[in-house]
């Protein structure tokens, strides 16, 4: 593989971080409410990074297992099928997070983090222990595995803190 091809394959996973970040930035740039701006960011991140990114991985591992095995530097094994369905679970959680409470989003981020941070540790181990420099084992995938759940958690924690610090308007009291 030439340098450009390697770089393109290594960097491609960053699409699932960059597109939601750019979309949220553009959509929220004229919003004055911090709460609304934060909600926009959470929804873009949940749907784009967590949902669509994980759904893409599901389809890729199911439809093109040989390509994905080569991309991560592993032989084709039944484990690829398991990765596909783990990503399907992440996709469902991501789509659910779009309309979830902050508490649910924290839980979704932690649940996704258990898989993705474990995958990150596995990628790093394979990189250093076995010299696996395949584009799907190093590069953008490392950034995604770290940031997708971490950003979900950080945004949700920030949302909870903002809600706790923001006084609610007094409304009628039910008797």
Mean pLDDT of 140-164: 96
When comparing pLDDT for 173 and 67, which is higher?
67
What is the reported pLDDT for 174? 54
Domain residue extents for the chain = 3-165
**Predicted confidence (pLDDT) at residue 1 exceeds the cutoff of 90:** no
Mean pLDDT of 163-168: 80
The CA-based angle 91-84-120, given to 5 degrees, is 80
The torsion of the CA quartet 92, 41, 39, 29, rounded to 10 degrees, works out to -150
What is the reported pLDDT for 171? 61
Give the whole-angstrom CA distance, residue 15 versus residue 128. 25
The per-residue pLDDT for range 106-134, each reduced to its tens digit, is 999 999 999 999 999 999 999 999 999 99
Say if residues 152 and 109 touch (Cβ distance below 8 Å). yes
Q: Quick one: which of 92, 17, 83 has its CA closest to 55?
A: 92
């Amino acid at each position: 593989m030439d340098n450009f091809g390697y770089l393109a394959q290594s960097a491609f996973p960053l699409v699932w971080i960059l597109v939601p970040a750019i979309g949220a930035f553009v959509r929220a740039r004229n919003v004055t409410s911090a709460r609304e701006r934060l909600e926009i960011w959470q929804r873009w991140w949940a749907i784009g990074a967590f949902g669509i990114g994980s759904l893409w991985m599901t389809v890729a591992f199911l439809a093109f297992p040989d390509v994905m095995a080569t991309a991560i530097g592993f032989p084709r094994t039944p484990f690829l099928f398991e990765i596909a369905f783990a990503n399907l679970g992440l996709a469902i959680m991501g789509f659910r997070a779009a309309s979830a409470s902050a508490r649910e989003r924290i839980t979704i981020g932690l649940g996704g983090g258990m898989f993705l941070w474990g995958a990150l540790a596995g990628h790093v181990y394979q990189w250093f222990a076995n010299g696996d420099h395949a584009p799907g084992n190093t590069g953008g995938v490392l950034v995604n595995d770290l940031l997708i759940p971490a950003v979900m958690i950080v945004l949700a924690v920030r949302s909870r803190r903002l809600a706790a610090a923001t006084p609610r308007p007094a409304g009628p009291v039910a008797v």
